[in-house]
Amino acid sequence: MHAMLDVSTLHYLVLGAALFLLGVIGVLTRRNVVIVLMSIELILNAVNLNLVAFSRYWQGIQGPGALHGQVFSIFVITDAAAEAAVGLGILIAFFRNKETVNVDEVNLLKW
């Protein structure tokens, strides 16, 4: 029914893993807080891609109503919106106080 070249769930999972790793590298190595937040968005999107791919996988087993992965990805997008709003609000407050956006200069709570 399908050719060998058809795109399977594993293809999407590998792409999601690659994006996830790019996001992890960005979070761990960059100094600019804005780019760290964007890397977090990359991670969330990798998770979303996995969820929607699994949703298709599950639809193939359970029928067209098994859209739990897609519903979860909508919740993840909601969380991402909330996180971006609060995180960028914190960033503005921090920039107003310290005149910097570098993560390694954020040491107010360091003992």
Site for another protein in 5-24 (CB under 8 A): 5-15, 17-24
Let me know the angle formed at the C-alpha of 76 by 71 and 79, rounded to the nearest 5 degrees: 130
- Choosing from 71, 98, 106, 110, the residue that interacts with another protein (CB under 8 A) is 71
Q: Does 98 bind another protein (CB under 8 A)?
A: no
CB count, 10 Å around CB of 24?
15
Nearest to residue 49, comparing CAs of 78, 10, 3? 10
Nearer to another protein, 5 or 109 (CB): 5
Nearer to another protein, 6 or 111 (CB): 6
Which residues 22-51 are close enough to bind another protein by CB under 8 A? 22-32, 34-35, 37-39, 41-42, 45, 48-49
Residue 81 tokens, joined: 């919106």
Phi, psi dihedral angles at 93 (to 5 degrees):
-60, -40
